[in-house]
Amino acid sequence: MSTPRFAFVAAESEEAEAARRRLETRYETVPHGEAEIIVALGGDGLMLETLHGSIERGTPIYGMNRGTVGFLMNIFQEDDLPARLARAEQVTVHPLRMKAWCAGGGAVQEALAINEVSLLREARQAAWIRISVDGTVRLEELICDGVLLATPAGSTAYNFSAHGPIVPIGAHLLALTPISAFRPRRWRGALLRNTATVTFEVLDPNKRPVSATADYTEVRNVSRVEVHEDPNVSLHLLFDPEHNLEQRIIREQFQP
């Protein structure tokens, strides 16, 4: 196996920075623009940030956990890194594209989300949101703290905390999950094909303001949000064969 050229990025924590300094002393690296692989040292937050930064070039990202959760990261180990990179397995994901209209005729803003797009109430009163799928109204009125649409890669994050389903990689599904729904009380969300376009309409944006967030890009005071998976954007994650993402997602579904 040929050794791929690689570069490091690290989270701002001392643990991650110390690991980067040791690894850069130990291994030959190249400038980021020449790297065939970016090795990210941190947690899932850094992985998302690094993936967003790699959209233009499409450079695969291999993460090693120097953060907290690290669901998208491999086990941190300093030995035999070139060999690990050479045999790593690639998972390709497509992000969600959010288009948000601001209340009062403000600018339309777009952003990409690898994990989820979430709508959240901004004030003390619950949000009122109408939900359409592919142009058909499926929920006339959702009274809630919020609602989110998650990718399979993000289904174990905020979506799971909101009691949404874990979606296997390759299932070609998106998870639509309410957050603290008041009406309808029994609605627990839906699984949608990854080709669906979901439209959220904020029914009273002045009295009940709502924000929309695509990963870490937030748009305040929205009136309408459209979300769909963008098949033209591909992001590549690398995992050790014995610790691949698909198996992790399956195991997560059987945790007590």
CA angle (142, 146, 151) in 5-degree steps: 105
Query: Are 52 and 82 members of one domain?
Result: yes
Total domains in the chain come to 2
Query: Are 140 and 243 members of one domain?
Result: no
- Provide the annotated active-site residues: 44
Structure tokens at 112: 């990409």
pLDDT reported for residue 98: 98
Query: Are 67 and 120 members of one domain?
Result: no
Name the percent of the chain in helix, strand, coil, to the closest 5: 20, 40, 40
How many C-beta atoms surround the C-beta of residue 124 within 10 A?
Answer: 6
pLDDT reported for residue 1: 55
What 3-state class would DSSP assign to 173?
strand
CATH of the domain at 71: 3.40.50.10330
Query: Are 176 and 187 members of one domain?
Result: yes
pLDDT reported for residue 186: 87
pLDDT reported for residue 71: 81
229 touches 151 (CB < 8 A): yes
Q: Tell me which residue has tokens 């690898």.
A: 114
Q: Tell me which residue has tokens 């989300």.
A: 113
Whole-angstrom Cα distance, residue 150 to residue 113? 9
Whole-angstrom Cα distance, residue 85 to residue 2? 10
- Strand 96-102: give its sheet, edge to edge: 108-113, 96-102, 222-229, 197-202, 127-133, 136-144
Whole-angstrom Cα distance, residue 33 to residue 115? 25
pLDDT reported for residue 180: 94
* Residue partners of 58: CB distance under 8 A and separation at least 6: 234, 235, 236
Percentage with pLDDT > 90 across the chain: 80
pLDDT reported for residue 169: 81
Query: Are 54 and 162 members of one domain?
Result: no
Integer CA distances (angstroms), 75 to 96, 104, 202, 239, 243, in order: 27, 48, 42, 10, 8
Q: Does residue 1 belong to any structural domain of this protein?
A: no
Query: Are 216 and 111 members of one domain?
Result: yes
Taking all residues of the chain, what is their mean pLDDT, rounded to a whole number? 92
Mean pLDDT, to the nearest integer, of 160-175?
A: 91
Give me the domain span that covers residue 44.
6-94+234-252
pLDDT at 170 over 90: no
20 touches 8 (CB < 8 A): yes
Q: Does residue 186 belong to any structural domain of this protein?
A: yes
pLDDT tens for 207-235 read 999 999 999 899 999 999 999 999 999 99
Query: Are 68 and 117 members of one domain?
Result: no
Q: Tell me which residue has tokens 């090795």.
A: 39
Mean pLDDT, to the nearest integer, of 193-202?
A: 98
Query: Are 71 and 113 members of one domain?
Result: no
Q: Does residue 198 belong to any structural domain of this protein?
A: yes
Structure tokens at 157: 């994050």
Query: Are 132 and 38 members of one domain?
Result: no
pLDDT tens for 67-98 read 877 788 999 999 999 999 999 999 999 999 99
Query: Are 176 and 224 members of one domain?
Result: yes
* pLDDT bucket at 200, cuts 50 / 70 / 90: very high
pLDDT tens for 117-152 read 999 999 999 999 999 999 999 999 999 999 999 999
Query: Are 16 and 123 members of one domain?
Result: no
pLDDT reported for residue 41: 97
